[in-house]
Amino acid sequence: MSTRSAFLAAGVAIAAAIFLLRPASDLSRPGDLGEAVADMILANATIYTADPAMPFAEAMALARVPLRGVTSKDDFINRVKEAVKDKHPGQWIFGGGWNNDFWGGDYPTAAWLDDISPDNPVWLSRMDGHMGIANSLAMRMAGIDKNTNNPVGGTIMRTTEGEPTGLLVDAAMKLVFDVISEVSIHERRDALLRASRHALMRGVTTVVDVGSYFPGKSEKQHYKDDPRSYGLQLVDMDYLLNTTLELDKSGLQIAIHAIGDKANDMLLDMYEKVVDLNGMKDHRFRIEHAQHLAPGAAKRFGKHGIIASVQFTSVDDNLHLLKDLLIVCQPDHILDDANSAGKKIGIERAERSSYSFRSLLDGGAHLAFGSDWPVSDINPLQAIRTAVSRKPAGWEVPWIPAERLSLDDSLKA
Protein backbone atom coordinates (compact mmCIF):
# COMPACT_ATOMS: atom_id res chain seq x y z
CA MET A 1 0.00 0.00 0.00
CA SER A 2 1.35 3.44 -0.92
CA THR A 3 1.97 6.07 1.73
CA ARG A 4 -0.91 8.13 0.38
CA SER A 5 -3.28 5.15 0.40
CA ALA A 6 -2.25 4.21 3.92
CA PHE A 7 -2.90 7.76 5.10
CA LEU A 8 -6.32 7.84 3.46
CA ALA A 9 -7.25 4.48 4.98
CA ALA A 10 -6.19 5.65 8.41
CA GLY A 11 -8.01 8.92 7.88
CA VAL A 12 -11.27 7.20 7.04
CA ALA A 13 -11.02 5.00 10.11
CA ILE A 14 -10.08 7.74 12.55
CA ALA A 15 -12.36 10.47 11.22
CA ALA A 16 -15.37 8.23 11.41
CA ALA A 17 -14.52 6.89 14.83
CA ILE A 18 -14.51 10.21 16.62
CA PHE A 19 -17.21 11.90 18.63
CA LEU A 20 -15.59 15.27 17.85
CA LEU A 21 -13.21 15.75 20.75
CA ARG A 22 -12.39 18.82 22.71
CA PRO A 23 -8.89 20.19 22.17
CA ALA A 24 -6.21 17.87 23.51
CA SER A 25 -5.46 20.20 26.42
CA ASP A 26 -8.99 19.61 27.74
CA LEU A 27 -8.65 15.82 27.78
CA SER A 28 -7.40 14.77 31.17
CA ARG A 29 -8.58 11.19 31.50
CA PRO A 30 -9.60 8.23 29.32
CA GLY A 31 -13.30 8.73 29.97
CA ASP A 32 -13.35 12.26 28.57
CA LEU A 33 -14.34 11.03 25.14
CA GLY A 34 -17.69 9.87 26.45
CA GLU A 35 -18.47 13.36 27.80
CA ALA A 36 -17.14 15.39 24.89
CA VAL A 37 -19.37 18.16 23.58
CA ALA A 38 -19.38 18.75 19.87
CA ASP A 39 -21.19 20.59 17.14
CA MET A 40 -20.09 18.78 14.02
CA ILE A 41 -21.58 16.36 11.52
CA LEU A 42 -19.81 14.33 8.86
CA ALA A 43 -21.90 13.86 5.73
CA ASN A 44 -21.66 12.84 2.07
CA ALA A 45 -18.45 10.91 2.61
CA THR A 46 -17.36 7.31 3.07
CA ILE A 47 -17.17 7.09 6.85
CA TYR A 48 -16.06 4.18 9.02
CA THR A 49 -18.45 4.32 11.96
CA ALA A 50 -16.90 1.66 14.23
CA ASP A 51 -20.44 0.26 14.37
CA PRO A 52 -20.70 -3.53 13.88
CA ALA A 53 -24.18 -3.08 12.45
CA MET A 54 -23.21 -0.48 9.86
CA PRO A 55 -19.47 0.02 9.42
CA PHE A 56 -19.75 2.60 6.67
CA ALA A 57 -22.15 5.49 6.26
CA GLU A 58 -22.45 8.55 4.07
CA ALA A 59 -23.36 10.72 7.03
CA MET A 60 -22.62 10.58 10.73
CA ALA A 61 -23.59 12.76 13.66
CA LEU A 62 -20.86 13.64 16.11
CA ALA A 63 -21.70 13.73 19.80
CA ARG A 64 -23.22 16.85 21.31
CA VAL A 65 -25.47 15.74 24.16
CA PRO A 66 -23.41 13.55 26.53
CA LEU A 67 -25.66 10.63 27.45
CA ARG A 68 -23.15 8.01 28.58
CA GLY A 69 -23.87 7.03 32.17
CA VAL A 70 -27.43 8.43 32.24
CA THR A 71 -29.47 6.35 34.72
CA SER A 72 -33.02 7.69 34.40
CA LYS A 73 -35.57 8.88 31.87
CA ASP A 74 -35.73 12.28 33.55
CA ASP A 75 -31.97 12.79 33.30
CA PHE A 76 -32.06 11.73 29.65
CA ILE A 77 -34.80 14.24 28.84
CA ASN A 78 -33.22 17.07 30.88
CA ARG A 79 -29.89 16.73 29.09
CA VAL A 80 -31.57 17.01 25.70
CA LYS A 81 -33.69 19.91 26.93
CA GLU A 82 -30.54 21.82 27.93
CA ALA A 83 -28.97 21.19 24.53
CA VAL A 84 -32.03 22.55 22.71
CA LYS A 85 -32.05 25.87 24.58
CA ASP A 86 -29.45 27.70 22.49
CA LYS A 87 -30.33 26.18 19.12
CA HIS A 88 -32.04 27.90 16.23
CA PRO A 89 -35.20 26.32 14.82
CA GLY A 90 -34.27 23.62 12.35
CA GLN A 91 -30.80 23.02 13.82
CA TRP A 92 -30.04 19.36 14.50
CA ILE A 93 -29.50 18.06 18.03
CA PHE A 94 -27.11 15.14 18.21
CA GLY A 95 -25.96 12.97 21.07
CA GLY A 96 -24.75 9.53 21.94
CA GLY A 97 -23.77 7.00 24.56
CA TRP A 98 -27.10 6.15 26.21
CA ASN A 99 -27.67 2.65 27.52
CA ASN A 100 -31.25 1.74 28.40
CA ASP A 101 -30.03 -1.05 30.68
CA PHE A 102 -28.87 1.66 33.08
CA TRP A 103 -32.46 2.76 33.79
CA GLY A 104 -34.27 -0.56 33.77
CA GLY A 105 -34.34 -1.57 30.12
CA ASP A 106 -37.14 0.50 28.56
CA TYR A 107 -36.12 2.01 25.24
CA PRO A 108 -36.52 5.76 24.72
CA THR A 109 -39.21 6.89 22.29
CA ALA A 110 -39.90 9.99 20.22
CA ALA A 111 -42.52 10.92 22.82
CA TRP A 112 -39.70 11.56 25.30
CA LEU A 113 -38.33 14.24 22.98
CA ASP A 114 -41.18 15.83 21.04
CA ASP A 115 -42.41 18.29 23.68
CA ILE A 116 -38.91 19.64 24.33
CA SER A 117 -37.76 19.75 20.70
CA PRO A 118 -40.75 20.67 18.50
CA ASP A 119 -38.63 22.80 16.13
CA ASN A 120 -35.36 20.84 16.12
CA PRO A 121 -34.70 17.40 14.64
CA VAL A 122 -33.03 15.09 17.18
CA TRP A 123 -30.85 12.01 16.70
CA LEU A 124 -29.36 10.22 19.73
CA SER A 125 -27.37 7.02 19.18
CA ARG A 126 -27.10 4.16 21.66
CA MET A 127 -23.66 3.44 23.15
CA ASP A 128 -23.08 0.40 20.91
CA GLY A 129 -24.03 2.17 17.68
CA HIS A 130 -26.60 -0.48 16.78
CA MET A 131 -29.59 1.79 17.23
CA GLY A 132 -30.65 5.35 17.84
CA ILE A 133 -33.70 7.40 18.73
CA ALA A 134 -35.17 10.13 16.52
CA ASN A 135 -37.85 12.63 17.46
CA SER A 136 -40.96 13.02 15.32
CA LEU A 137 -39.54 15.98 13.38
CA ALA A 138 -36.45 14.00 12.39
CA MET A 139 -38.65 11.10 11.29
CA ARG A 140 -40.81 13.41 9.16
CA MET A 141 -37.69 14.81 7.52
CA ALA A 142 -36.52 11.27 6.81
CA GLY A 143 -39.92 10.24 5.43
CA ILE A 144 -40.50 7.65 8.14
CA ASP A 145 -44.15 6.91 8.90
CA LYS A 146 -46.55 4.02 9.46
CA ASN A 147 -46.23 2.97 5.81
CA THR A 148 -42.42 2.90 5.68
CA ASN A 149 -41.09 -0.60 5.20
CA ASN A 150 -38.16 -1.92 7.21
CA PRO A 151 -34.99 -1.66 5.11
CA VAL A 152 -32.97 -4.80 4.49
CA GLY A 153 -30.91 -5.45 7.60
CA GLY A 154 -32.73 -2.90 9.74
CA THR A 155 -35.83 -2.43 11.87
CA ILE A 156 -38.13 0.51 12.49
CA MET A 157 -39.50 -0.18 15.96
CA ARG A 158 -43.25 0.32 16.15
CA THR A 159 -46.15 0.57 18.57
CA THR A 160 -48.86 -2.08 18.67
CA GLU A 161 -50.78 0.16 16.23
CA GLY A 162 -47.84 0.10 13.79
CA GLU A 163 -46.68 3.68 14.35
CA PRO A 164 -42.89 4.24 14.48
CA THR A 165 -41.67 4.78 18.05
CA GLY A 166 -38.61 6.72 16.88
CA LEU A 167 -36.19 3.88 17.59
CA LEU A 168 -34.24 2.79 14.49
CA VAL A 169 -32.11 -0.36 14.51
CA ASP A 170 -29.05 -1.11 12.38
CA ALA A 171 -29.60 -0.33 8.67
CA ALA A 172 -32.78 1.64 9.46
CA MET A 173 -30.56 4.36 10.94
CA LYS A 174 -29.45 5.29 7.44
CA LEU A 175 -32.92 6.73 6.81
CA VAL A 176 -31.98 9.55 9.19
CA PHE A 177 -28.32 9.71 8.17
CA ASP A 178 -29.41 10.49 4.62
CA VAL A 179 -31.05 13.78 5.62
CA ILE A 180 -28.20 15.14 7.74
CA SER A 181 -26.59 18.23 6.24
CA GLU A 182 -23.13 18.36 4.74
CA VAL A 183 -20.16 20.02 6.47
CA SER A 184 -16.97 21.48 5.07
CA ILE A 185 -13.69 19.71 4.43
CA HIS A 186 -12.08 22.06 6.95
CA GLU A 187 -14.39 20.81 9.71
CA ARG A 188 -13.67 17.23 8.77
CA ARG A 189 -9.93 17.86 8.81
CA ASP A 190 -10.23 19.49 12.24
CA ALA A 191 -12.12 16.45 13.52
CA LEU A 192 -9.43 14.14 12.16
CA LEU A 193 -6.65 16.12 13.84
CA ARG A 194 -8.43 16.15 17.19
CA ALA A 195 -9.08 12.41 17.00
CA SER A 196 -5.45 11.78 16.09
CA ARG A 197 -4.23 13.79 19.08
CA HIS A 198 -6.55 11.90 21.38
CA ALA A 199 -5.32 8.55 20.07
CA LEU A 200 -1.66 9.54 20.33
CA MET A 201 -2.14 10.69 23.93
CA ARG A 202 -3.20 7.10 24.72
CA GLY A 203 -0.22 5.58 22.95
CA VAL A 204 -2.13 4.53 19.82
CA THR A 205 0.02 5.13 16.75
CA THR A 206 -1.63 2.90 14.13
CA VAL A 207 -5.18 2.68 12.83
CA VAL A 208 -6.51 -0.36 11.00
CA ASP A 209 -9.14 0.37 8.38
CA VAL A 210 -11.61 -2.51 8.55
CA GLY A 211 -13.05 -2.99 5.10
CA SER A 212 -15.12 -6.14 4.49
CA TYR A 213 -17.92 -6.81 6.93
CA PHE A 214 -20.38 -9.49 7.99
CA PRO A 215 -23.11 -7.37 9.55
CA GLY A 216 -24.66 -9.83 11.93
CA LYS A 217 -25.62 -10.43 15.53
CA SER A 218 -27.40 -13.62 14.48
CA GLU A 219 -27.92 -16.12 17.30
CA LYS A 220 -28.70 -19.84 17.24
CA GLN A 221 -31.32 -19.33 19.95
CA HIS A 222 -33.77 -16.48 20.40
CA TYR A 223 -33.05 -13.58 22.73
CA LYS A 224 -34.32 -14.19 26.25
CA ASP A 225 -35.90 -10.73 26.43
CA ASP A 226 -37.37 -10.98 22.90
CA PRO A 227 -38.45 -14.56 22.05
CA ARG A 228 -39.31 -13.52 18.47
CA SER A 229 -35.80 -12.29 17.69
CA TYR A 230 -32.70 -14.21 16.68
CA GLY A 231 -30.75 -11.06 15.78
CA LEU A 232 -30.19 -9.54 12.36
CA GLN A 233 -28.27 -10.87 9.40
CA LEU A 234 -27.72 -7.93 7.08
CA VAL A 235 -26.02 -9.58 4.11
CA ASP A 236 -27.02 -12.54 1.97
CA MET A 237 -24.47 -15.34 2.46
CA ASP A 238 -24.19 -16.14 -1.25
CA TYR A 239 -23.39 -12.50 -1.96
CA LEU A 240 -20.89 -12.42 0.90
CA LEU A 241 -19.21 -15.63 -0.31
CA ASN A 242 -18.86 -14.35 -3.88
CA THR A 243 -17.53 -10.98 -2.70
CA THR A 244 -15.03 -12.64 -0.35
CA LEU A 245 -13.85 -14.98 -3.11
CA GLU A 246 -13.09 -12.07 -5.43
CA LEU A 247 -11.41 -9.96 -2.76
CA ASP A 248 -9.29 -12.91 -1.66
CA LYS A 249 -8.24 -13.60 -5.26
CA SER A 250 -7.13 -9.97 -5.49
CA GLY A 251 -4.81 -10.44 -2.52
CA LEU A 252 -6.83 -8.37 -0.06
CA GLN A 253 -7.01 -9.43 3.59
CA ILE A 254 -10.62 -9.98 4.62
CA ALA A 255 -11.90 -8.72 7.98
CA ILE A 256 -15.54 -9.50 8.77
CA HIS A 257 -17.61 -8.73 11.86
CA ALA A 258 -19.58 -11.44 13.66
CA ILE A 259 -21.00 -11.19 17.19
CA GLY A 260 -23.54 -13.95 17.74
CA ASP A 261 -22.84 -17.69 17.89
CA LYS A 262 -24.70 -18.43 14.67
CA ALA A 263 -22.98 -15.58 12.84
CA ASN A 264 -19.54 -16.88 13.86
CA ASP A 265 -20.36 -20.44 12.74
CA MET A 266 -21.67 -19.13 9.41
CA LEU A 267 -18.45 -17.20 8.89
CA LEU A 268 -16.26 -20.19 9.67
CA ASP A 269 -18.24 -22.25 7.16
CA MET A 270 -17.89 -19.54 4.53
CA TYR A 271 -14.15 -19.11 5.02
CA GLU A 272 -13.72 -22.86 4.55
CA LYS A 273 -15.55 -22.63 1.22
CA VAL A 274 -13.23 -19.81 0.14
CA VAL A 275 -10.19 -21.95 0.91
CA ASP A 276 -11.80 -24.84 -0.99
CA LEU A 277 -12.25 -22.70 -4.08
CA ASN A 278 -9.20 -20.42 -3.93
CA GLY A 279 -6.72 -22.91 -2.52
CA MET A 280 -4.32 -22.73 0.43
CA LYS A 281 -2.24 -19.58 0.78
CA ASP A 282 -1.58 -16.81 3.25
CA HIS A 283 -5.18 -15.58 3.35
CA ARG A 284 -4.98 -13.67 6.66
CA PHE A 285 -8.75 -14.03 7.17
CA ARG A 286 -10.04 -12.21 10.24
CA ILE A 287 -13.16 -12.24 12.40
CA GLU A 288 -13.97 -9.13 14.42
CA HIS A 289 -15.57 -9.52 17.87
CA ALA A 290 -16.51 -13.24 18.18
CA GLN A 291 -18.30 -12.22 21.36
CA HIS A 292 -20.65 -15.19 21.76
CA LEU A 293 -19.63 -18.65 20.58
CA ALA A 294 -21.50 -21.91 20.24
CA PRO A 295 -20.22 -24.93 22.22
CA GLY A 296 -17.06 -26.22 20.59
CA ALA A 297 -16.54 -23.10 18.46
CA ALA A 298 -13.47 -21.95 20.42
CA LYS A 299 -11.66 -25.17 19.49
CA ARG A 300 -12.87 -24.83 15.93
CA PHE A 301 -11.29 -21.39 15.72
CA GLY A 302 -7.99 -22.83 16.92
CA LYS A 303 -8.26 -25.78 14.54
CA HIS A 304 -8.70 -23.42 11.63
CA GLY A 305 -5.80 -21.18 12.63
CA ILE A 306 -7.81 -17.95 13.33
CA ILE A 307 -6.67 -14.70 15.18
CA ALA A 308 -9.08 -13.64 17.96
CA SER A 309 -7.85 -9.79 17.74
CA VAL A 310 -7.49 -13.06 18.56
CA GLN A 311 -4.59 -14.75 16.03
CA PHE A 312 -4.69 -18.43 15.23
CA THR A 313 -1.66 -20.28 14.00
CA SER A 314 -2.24 -23.84 15.20
CA VAL A 315 -3.04 -25.79 12.03
CA ASP A 316 -3.52 -29.51 11.52
CA ASP A 317 -2.11 -30.29 8.08
CA ASN A 318 -4.44 -33.28 7.78
CA LEU A 319 -7.54 -31.12 7.98
CA HIS A 320 -9.17 -29.08 5.25
CA LEU A 321 -8.90 -25.71 6.94
CA LEU A 322 -8.02 -22.07 6.99
CA LYS A 323 -4.62 -20.60 7.61
CA ASP A 324 -3.86 -17.38 9.46
CA LEU A 325 -7.47 -16.66 10.38
CA LEU A 326 -7.66 -13.79 12.86
CA ILE A 327 -10.24 -13.12 15.56
CA VAL A 328 -10.32 -9.56 16.88
CA CYS A 329 -11.79 -9.08 20.37
CA GLN A 330 -12.45 -5.98 22.44
CA PRO A 331 -12.00 -6.65 26.17
CA ASP A 332 -13.62 -3.39 27.27
CA HIS A 333 -16.98 -4.46 25.84
CA ILE A 334 -17.10 -6.69 28.92
CA LEU A 335 -17.59 -3.57 31.04
CA ASP A 336 -20.97 -2.95 29.41
CA ASP A 337 -22.07 -6.45 28.43
CA ALA A 338 -21.46 -8.20 31.75
CA ASN A 339 -24.50 -6.47 33.22
CA SER A 340 -26.79 -7.11 30.27
CA ALA A 341 -25.73 -10.34 28.52
CA GLY A 342 -27.64 -12.55 30.95
CA LYS A 343 -30.82 -10.56 30.33
CA LYS A 344 -30.38 -10.84 26.57
CA ILE A 345 -29.39 -14.47 26.06
CA GLY A 346 -29.84 -16.05 29.49
CA ILE A 347 -27.33 -16.31 32.35
CA GLU A 348 -26.26 -19.91 31.68
CA ARG A 349 -25.70 -19.31 27.98
CA ALA A 350 -23.95 -15.98 28.55
CA GLU A 351 -21.52 -17.45 31.07
CA ARG A 352 -20.82 -20.42 28.82
CA SER A 353 -20.16 -18.52 25.60
CA SER A 354 -19.22 -14.86 26.16
CA TYR A 355 -15.78 -13.33 25.55
CA SER A 356 -14.07 -16.70 25.69
CA PHE A 357 -10.51 -15.37 25.71
CA ARG A 358 -8.90 -18.21 27.70
CA SER A 359 -10.80 -20.91 25.78
CA LEU A 360 -9.73 -19.38 22.47
CA LEU A 361 -6.13 -19.18 23.60
CA ASP A 362 -6.15 -22.75 24.91
CA GLY A 363 -7.70 -23.88 21.63
CA GLY A 364 -4.76 -22.59 19.61
CA ALA A 365 -5.63 -18.95 19.09
CA HIS A 366 -3.19 -16.06 19.28
CA LEU A 367 -5.30 -13.22 20.65
CA ALA A 368 -5.17 -9.73 19.14
CA PHE A 369 -7.13 -7.13 21.10
CA GLY A 370 -8.66 -3.90 19.84
CA SER A 371 -10.78 -1.10 21.27
CA ASP A 372 -13.72 -0.69 18.85
CA TRP A 373 -13.44 3.01 19.66
CA PRO A 374 -15.66 5.01 20.14
CA VAL A 375 -17.96 2.27 21.44
CA SER A 376 -15.29 1.55 24.07
CA ASP A 377 -12.36 3.54 25.40
CA ILE A 378 -9.37 3.72 23.08
CA ASN A 379 -6.93 3.44 26.01
CA PRO A 380 -5.10 0.06 25.56
CA LEU A 381 -4.04 -0.07 29.22
CA GLN A 382 -7.65 -0.21 30.36
CA ALA A 383 -8.38 -3.01 27.88
CA ILE A 384 -5.44 -4.99 29.25
CA ARG A 385 -6.70 -4.49 32.80
CA THR A 386 -10.17 -5.65 31.79
CA ALA A 387 -8.81 -8.82 30.15
CA VAL A 388 -6.92 -9.65 33.35
CA SER A 389 -9.64 -8.80 35.88
CA ARG A 390 -12.95 -9.14 33.98
CA LYS A 391 -14.51 -7.02 36.73
CA PRO A 392 -16.87 -4.20 35.67
CA ALA A 393 -17.26 -1.23 37.99
CA GLY A 394 -18.97 -2.21 41.24
CA TRP A 395 -18.38 -5.95 40.80
CA GLU A 396 -16.73 -7.83 43.66
CA VAL A 397 -15.98 -10.94 41.60
CA PRO A 398 -14.90 -11.40 37.97
CA TRP A 399 -17.41 -12.17 35.26
CA ILE A 400 -16.67 -15.71 34.02
CA PRO A 401 -13.35 -15.94 35.94
CA ALA A 402 -12.24 -19.05 34.02
CA GLU A 403 -11.84 -16.86 30.93
CA ARG A 404 -9.41 -14.38 32.54
CA LEU A 405 -5.98 -13.93 31.00
CA SER A 406 -2.63 -13.42 32.64
CA LEU A 407 -0.93 -10.03 32.28
CA ASP A 408 1.62 -11.60 29.96
CA ASP A 409 -1.04 -13.08 27.66
CA SER A 410 -2.94 -9.79 27.63
CA LEU A 411 0.16 -7.79 26.72
CA LYS A 412 0.91 -10.17 23.86
CA ALA A 413 -2.64 -9.69 22.55
Q: What is the pLDDT of residue 213?
A: 45
Cis omega before residue 374 (within 30°)?
Answer: yes
Least confident of 175-189, 196-210, 303-317: 303-317
**C-alpha triplet 373, 126, 10: angle, nearest 5°:** 25
**pLDDT digit string (tens) for 200-209?**
888 888 766 5
Provide the pLDDT for residue 365: 66
d(CA 287, CA 52): 12
Average pLDDT over residues 53-74: 66
Distances in Å between the Cα of 402 and the Cα atoms of 78, 289, 388, 406 are 42, 19, 11, 11
CATH 3.20.20.140 in the chain: give the residue spans. Answer: 210-412
The residue that leads in pLDDT, 80 or 284, is 80
- CATH number assigned to the domain covering 3-177: 3.10.310.70
Q: In angstroms, rounded to a whole number, what is the distance separating the alpha carbons of residues 151 and 388? A: 41
Taking the C-alpha atoms of residue 34 and residue 372, their distance in angstroms, rounded to an integer, is 14
Q: Checking DSSP bridges between strand 41-48 and strand 56-61, what pairing results, if any?
A: antiparallel
Please, are residues 257 and 292 in contact by the beta-carbon 8 Å criterion? Answer: no
Q: How many CA atoms lie within 13 A of 216 on its CB side?
A: 26
What secondary structure, in 3-state letters, does 54-69 show?
CCEEEEEECCCEECCC
Most confident option among 81-85, 289-293, 296-300, 364-368: 81-85
- pLDDT tens, 102-117? 898 899 999 999 999 9
Supply the pLDDT for residue 328. Answer: 64
Single pTM value for the model: 0.60
For the chain, how far is it from start to end, CA to CA, in angstroms? 25
Mean of per-residue pLDDT scores for the chain: 74
Residue % of the chain over a pLDDT of 70: 69
Answer whether 56's CB lies under 8 Å from 49's CB.
Answer: yes
pLDDT score recorded for residue 140:
98
| 69 compared with 72, residue with greater pLDDT | 72
The Cα 191–Cα 185 span in angstroms is: 10
Calpha distance 275→260 (Å, rounded): 23
Within 10 A of 293 (CB to CB), how many other CB atoms are there?
25
The region of weakest confidence among 224-228, 242-246, 310-314, 351-355 is: 310-314
Q: Is the pLDDT of residue 360 over 90?
A: no
- Helix 261-278 to helix 237-249 angle (10° resolution) is 40
Does the domain formed by 210-412 have CATH 3.30.930.10? no
Model confidence band, residue 222 (pLDDT cutoffs 50, 70, 90):
low
Q: How far apart are CA 370 and CA 255, in angstroms?
A: 13
- What is the amino acid identity at position 318? N
Higher pLDDT, 119 or 204: 119
